[in-house]
Chain A
């Protein structure tokens, strides 16, 4: 046998960590049984015991630095697992309550003419729920589309100003600061503002899709500016200089070199911004009203979106005596909204990967 490898001195063998884990689970189970068993208590006790035991044992065997490293590693894993719990719980709740309501009738019908009497009847007869979220899907798509059409150009141009033109200027510092402040506007205030603004122009309570789109834009713009700005900043200056040196004008350089290089980051930033507002309820209520029939025109008449639909189905069920159909519609609509955002995310990733800087040989 060769001499022992002096570099491998004082290292815990691989199996040790599994042994500690097993031990922690056993002790965790024991303590939680003593104090009245519950799964949560069991998991919490086991995790804490493991964390302490693993860190202490690593510290003793491998020294303080490795111990610290081990502790933080487990803490970070723990943070991740803890974050997954609410995610799983929310998704499970939405799936469990929403899935039964998803069917083609729900997807492709509005709530036009659906009254409490109809719900009472379907419940009494055990028939499938009547009425769907089609009108709200349309409303969500239209209002979000218009909000995007407003905020993406404004937000991106602002970011372009901040990064490409305004460097070091007082105005650009002011914009950066107030964009941050803007992220803190409560959504209801944005809604009231848009309503008041259009009220001034079009008369009191001018409610329609476009007013809601403006309200959402107020909420969206800061996110678009922020993320675009960050992404433009990391476009290397050498690319700009290369373009300038070829005699390309600044605006063409920005449009054809800088933005395409950053497009994937910008796309995910815009997606995040859309996701941020697509679920808004309060500002829509005061700007777009509520409708049960399909409205394709954002410039006239009231409109529902999925969040307002969900909100009213939960808070003022169509039939107060039989709320189950409304509850089912609400959760199904929630599921639909999440699916829509997922699809949006996928599209954004696709867009990003098409435009993204090409790598590899």
Chain B
């Protein structure tokens, strides 16, 4: 049998390079999984005493569930307001920059909006309670006077403006740049081919956007909103500073409600023993909420896979 000349020519050192590099890439991925697993284990261990404690010893005296569900709902409300405000505006801004603004203006404008992402949350908090909250008070009064029959706007309106709605708006401002910058990048990548196909069929600009741009960008938009949601759910300091907290109430313009992240931040410094474990259990619940929301988002993206723009 003759030897294969191709085998002898192969350099073993080169192959090693490939092995090392792919190994490193794999290791990095696994490291992330391990870290996340470690975070989960850490949360679980620290939270465990809460689940075995006498319900009377939990804050509120009625067990962990009674303690956590109002702030879970508060968290969801805050995040929902944030997304309800930031998603349409964020997508609007992204579309404005990608498809409406003159090219020369669009770049700097995008940069300006991205800047919002860089402002520390303490500053958002301070701005929220010093500037935004007082500015919203007349609006709240108007709402309670004219739409007070809706439980969401039931009066009397807060005199300081430090309400759930304000906190939600501050969160919206904080997630706006995340949604905007990601969806803008995706809108810009819409294949020219498809945009021109729509225009050539006689579509108006808006119709071109709905037929070519939005369907193409849908999975990306969902990811962008999820990233924004992540920040809205996990934001601590801004909510802690802006919200005048309290029990769960339907009205968004009165003092009340609380979010998990703010609950942790506000009480962590003075917490010890069981209280500390309770707060960490609250963190675990937040973690689970994120997990579920992400699973749902993945599901939505996967369902449309056959018709995705990715080919």
Contact = CB atoms under 8 A, between A and B. Distances in A.
Interface stretch (B51-59, B120-128, B245-253): B120-128
Contacts of A177: 294-295, 298
Interface stretch (A106-114, A125-133, A178-186, A288-296): A178-186
Interface stretch (A2-10, A18-26, A116-124, A248-256): A248-256
> Interface residues of B: mostly helix, strand, loop or mixed?
helix
A145 interface: no
A138 interface: no
Interface stretch (A46-54, A159-167, A205-213, A317-325): A159-167
A281 B294 contact: no
B29 A342 contact: no
Interface string B132-148: 10010011000000000
A334 B30 CA distance: 37
B164 interface: no
A78 B91 CA distance: 12
B204 A178 contact: no
A175 B29 contact: yes
B273 interface: no
Given A188-B264, A310-B123, A314-B126, A86 B205 contact: no
A311 interface: yes
Q: Chain A binding site: helix, strand, loop or mixed by DSSP?
A: helix
A154 interface: yes
A249 B14 contact: yes
A272 to B, nearest CB: 6
A279 B120 contact: yes
Contacts of B124: 90
Interface in B96-127: 96-97, 100-101, 109, 111-124, 126-127
Given A180-B294, A184-B290, A76 B92 contact: yes
A153 B95 CA distance: 33
B100 A334 contact: no
B197 interface: no
Contact of B100 (A76, A165, A279): A76
A157 B28 contact: yes
A90 B92 contact: no
A185 B237 contact: no
A65 B204 contact: yes
A181 B173 contact: no
A334 B130 CA distance: 15
Contact of A90 (B127, B226, B295): B127
B39 A218 contact: yes
A1 interface: no
B156 interface: no
